[in-house]
Amino acid sequence: MDSRSSSHNGSGRATRSSLACLPCRSRHSKCDGKRPCCTRCAETGQECTYARSRRGGLDRAALADRRRRLAAGERISPAPDSSGQRYTTIQQVQEHPAPLMVEDLHNEPSERIRIGDVILGISLPGTSIVHLGGIKEDPLINAYYEKFHGCHPFLLPQKHLTRLYEDPHRQPSFTPLLAVMRLIGHIYTSREWSMSLRDHIDACFLQASPSDPVMVQCRLLLSMALFWHDYKDAAKLEMDAATSLAVDLKMFLSDFAASHGRDDPVLRECWRRTWWMLYIIDAYYTGTLGTMNFRVANITATVELPCEELEYESGNIPEPRTLQEFNCREFSADPIDFSSFAYLIGAVQCAGSAISVAPKIATKEDSAHVVQAADCSLDGWRLLLPKDRKQVMDKDGKIDELMFQAHLIIDVSTIGLHRPFSALKFNAVENVSSCAREPPLDTPIPDLINVHTVRVIRAIESQIRLLALPVPEFHHTPFTTCMVSEGTLALLSACTTLLKGTHLSTARDQIRMTLGCLKVLGEVWPRTARNVREIQTIAQTVLGVGSGVSNSSETPSSSTGPSSGGGEGSLDLASYVPSNDTTNSSSLGSIEDLCGWYSLGDLSDISWGLGNGS
């Protein structure tokens, strides 16, 4: 129900209340808009509050004067009214410090943002949505596609969205989506959060149809931006709303894409990608937070798998493959081509399968069970990879972002499953990390400790190879933060438990590299920057370095630079001799508390509390 509900005038005819109170709006209930207290709040005894007006309080004379000065080319700065209210101004993109100009349209307050030679029109809450600049000419939309779309390619390709937006009938549906895209584009270009753009998103959401499937995309994107800017509670609300709407619309069925995409194959592909990206991001949240559950894991999806990125961008969409075909690919006599997106979905699926067979409270006897059962899913994904999918970087030096994420998921899943049974001890200070979980209690060393340790070490080496790929900038989804962090924490443990001499020196270089990679992400996403500081604190304690603390076992750093794994500089188990000392040995307690990737729990529980203050 729209919160801008109807009331009745003296003639008995229904009229629209221009503004509902905040309690009615939050419940999507009818509100008659009476002040100081609406009828519904008066009946329920609830405090009735209204959002503060943003119309600026300008009279006709002030509006006329503003139009005259605008025509004269002056910069407009609306004067605040007596209550101190003022117009919201959009934060400027730092690379384009052109003047901000505000102009009223149809006597309604709105904003024009000039960036270089481009003018964008943004309406304020309570007004009609007006867009004065094309998508192609919008620098914030361009920044979104350049910096973010490749990491999460589920929106329409830019050319296709531009074409569809030219249809006036489609513009109201796409307007809130463009608002969220601009916020993310602003984050990448200005490296800061914009409350003005955030407020504009809220205004667009209020005017949008709540059942429009585009709102699944809007809320999913907004949730990611909020979360990595440390607005965790708001991110949860948006993710819950996106998931609930997608499930209510039955986006997971193949009929949805067919009916909502109609005769547009690119739009049908877009809807398929939207469901699968929701599935992936839901899993990423599960792994990052550790106590949030994978809500859509048990939904039987019949929606087909996405195609290749080049096919999507070109608009030449092939007949889509099904999830059943992917899961039975080992029985095919002839090789079947699946997209990188499909292999990423498969990696998430395998991680979930491994989690489902791993015990929540691990014991010494569970060691063999993890080796025999949990590893099958992860190894099956690796072994069935075609040769071209094993190479994350192509001959032109371009990284396949989706395969990069897929390999990281398999690696962090392996680390999380095996480290509790390995010789890589947990240190209580790891609890400082918002990506780690509280180490479990110590228990006796399992018989297969060497197998588990080798598994973890090889997964760390695989991560290092990915991070050391020769690219000008570490540019990936912020959700790689906790995947990389889990491997770094395990590598820190190896530095104090297993490695000596040149192997220790090389591992220290690799830790520097991983922190450097995370720092690049942290320049854009504050939550990642916080995680870097946490790992630095952990490393200083575990290694006994920094803050005036010395470590006699540390060897000088090698001058050869970070190792990409393999060869003389990689982690080497040849010198590893397992210790028989059970004191402070690797812990075998609760896997779900150890690593977020193994914390599905009861799917009906949607708690996001972390328990460690993150």
The token duo for 143 is 């920044």
Q: What is the pLDDT of residue 564?
A: 34
In a domain, residue 154? The reply is yes
Q: What is the pLDDT of residue 186?
A: 96
Q: What is the pLDDT of residue 85?
A: 33
Which of 511, 524, 517 lies closest to 474, judged by CA? 517
Domain boundary, last residue among 293, 325, 345: 293
The token duo for 332 is 């095919």
Q: Please give the DSSP secondary-structure letter assigned to residue 587.
A: B
| Planar angle of CA 349, 378, 604, nearest 5 degrees | 35
d(CA 74, CA 46): 47
In a domain, residue 308? The reply is no
d(CA 141, CA 405): 24
How many other C-beta atoms are found inside a 10 Å radius of the C-beta of residue 47?
A: 10
Per residue, the 3-state secondary structure of 340-377, as one string, reads HHHHHHHHHHHHHHHHHHCCCECCCCHHHHHHHHHHHH
d(CA 369, CA 387): 30
Mean per-residue pLDDT, 318-346: 92
In Å, how far from its chain's centre is CA 275? Answer: 15
Quick one: 41 and 177 in the same domain? no
Higher-confidence residue of 116 and 208: namely: 208
Which of 584, 571, 586 lies closest to 422, judged by CA? 586
Ranking 15-24, 25-34, 444-453 by mean pLDDT, the lowest is 15-24
Quick one: 191 and 286 in the same domain? yes
Beta bridge partners of 587: 442
Ranking 44-58, 85-99, 140-154, 389-403 by mean pLDDT, the lowest is 85-99
Mean per-residue pLDDT, 520-528: 94
In a domain, residue 540? The reply is no
Which of 353, 489, 483 lies closest to 411, judged by CA? 483
Q: What is the pLDDT of residue 69?
A: 52
d(CA 425, CA 385): 32
Mean per-residue pLDDT, 566-590: 37
Q: What is the pLDDT of residue 49?
A: 79
Which of 608, 234, 595, 598 lies closest to 433, judged by CA? 595
Q: Model pTM?
A: 0.71
- Going by their DSSP bridges, the two strands 14-16 and 6-8 should be labelled as antiparallel
Residue 57 · residue 82 · CB < 8 Å: yes
pLDDT tier, 364 (very low <50, low <70, confident <90, very high otherwise): low
Q: Please give the DSSP secondary-structure letter assigned to residue 16.
A: E
What DSSP string runs through 497-528?
HT--HHHHHHHHHHHHHHHHHHHHHHTT-HHH
Domain boundary, last residue among 269, 293, 317: 293
Ranking 120-124, 153-157, 586-590, 607-611 by mean pLDDT, the lowest is 607-611
- The H or E element containing residue 111 is strand 110-115
d(CA 595, CA 288): 9
Domains identified in the chain, total number: 2
Q: What is the pLDDT of residue 497?
A: 84
Residues 6+ apart with CB under 8 A from 585: 423, 425, 442, 443, 444, 445, 579
pLDDT tier, 430 (very low <50, low <70, confident <90, very high otherwise): confident
Domain that holds residue 207: 133-293
Quick one: 41 and 175 in the same domain? no
Query: The CATH number of the domain where 47 resides is what?
Result: 4.10.240.10
Mean per-residue pLDDT, 366-385: 80
Domain boundary, last residue among 259, 293, 327: 293
The half-sphere exposure of 240 on its side-chain side, counting CA atoms within 13 A, is 13
pLDDT tier, 316 (very low <50, low <70, confident <90, very high otherwise): very high
Mean per-residue pLDDT, 310-315: 96
Mean per-residue pLDDT, 344-364: 78
Q: What is the pLDDT of residue 45?
A: 72
Q: What are phi and psi of 458, to 5 degrees?
A: -65, -35
Quick one: 156 and 267 in the same domain? yes
Residue 242 · residue 220 · CB < 8 Å: yes
Mean per-residue pLDDT, 456-475: 91
d(CA 487, CA 464): 9
d(CA 51, CA 60): 24
Q: What is the pLDDT of residue 139?
A: 93
Which of 570, 435, 583, 588 lies closest to 513, judged by CA? 570
Mean pLDDT of the chain: 75
Q: What percent of the chain has pLDDT over 70?
A: 67
pLDDT tier, 405 (very low <50, low <70, confident <90, very high otherwise): very high
In a domain, residue 506? The reply is no
pLDDT tier, 356 (very low <50, low <70, confident <90, very high otherwise): confident
d(CA 311, CA 293): 33
Q: What is the pLDDT of residue 442?
A: 54
Residue 258 · residue 268 · CB < 8 Å: yes
Mean per-residue pLDDT, 266-292: 89
Mean per-residue pLDDT, 590-607: 32
Quick one: 153 and 277 in the same domain? yes
Quick one: 150 and 289 in the same domain? yes
pLDDT tier, 445 (very low <50, low <70, confident <90, very high otherwise): low
Among 293-297, 321-325, 423-427, 547-551, the range with the most confident prediction by mean pLDDT is 321-325
Mean per-residue pLDDT, 391-412: 92
Q: Please give the DSSP secondary-structure letter assigned to residue 327.
A: H
Q: What share of the chain is helix, strand, coil (3-state, %, to 5)?
A: 50, 5, 45
Q: Does the pLDDT at position 5 exceed 70?
A: no
In a domain, residue 69? The reply is no
Q: What is the pLDDT of residue 52?
A: 54
Mean per-residue pLDDT, 489-514: 90
Q: What is the pLDDT of residue 183?
A: 97
d(CA 89, CA 113): 9
143-185 per-position pLDDT tens digit: 999 999 999 999 999 999 999 998 889 999 999 999 999 999 9
Q: Please give the DSSP secondary-structure letter assigned to residue 80.
A: P
Residue 294 · residue 288 · CB < 8 Å: no
Q: Does the pLDDT at position 589 exceed 70?
A: no
Q: What is the pLDDT of residue 354?
A: 79
Among 80-94, 106-120, 582-596, the range with the most confident prediction by mean pLDDT is 106-120
Q: What is the pLDDT of residue 240?
A: 93
Quick one: 157 and 35 in the same domain? no
Q: Which whole-number Å values give the CA distances from 479 to 284, 356, 528, in the listed order?
A: 7, 22, 9
In a domain, residue 455? The reply is no
Which of 343, 349, 351, 346 lies closest to 401, judged by CA? 343
In a domain, residue 484? The reply is no
Mean per-residue pLDDT, 407-421: 89
Q: What is the pLDDT of residue 12?
A: 45
pLDDT tier, 134 (very low <50, low <70, confident <90, very high otherwise): low
Quick one: 164 and 264 in the same domain? yes
Residues 6+ apart with CB under 8 A from 176: 201, 204, 205, 207, 208, 214, 215, 218
pLDDT tier, 546 (very low <50, low <70, confident <90, very high otherwise): low
**For the chain, how many residues are written?**
614
Q: What is the pLDDT of residue 16?
A: 42
The token duo for 592 is 């779900």
pLDDT tier, 326 (very low <50, low <70, confident <90, very high otherwise): very high
Residue 196 · residue 155 · CB < 8 Å: no
Q: Does the pLDDT at position 522 exceed 70?
A: yes
d(CA 211, CA 281): 21
In a domain, residue 171? The reply is yes
Q: What is the pLDDT of residue 534?
A: 92
d(CA 173, CA 291): 34
Residue 367 · residue 423 · CB < 8 Å: no
d(CA 314, CA 46): 54
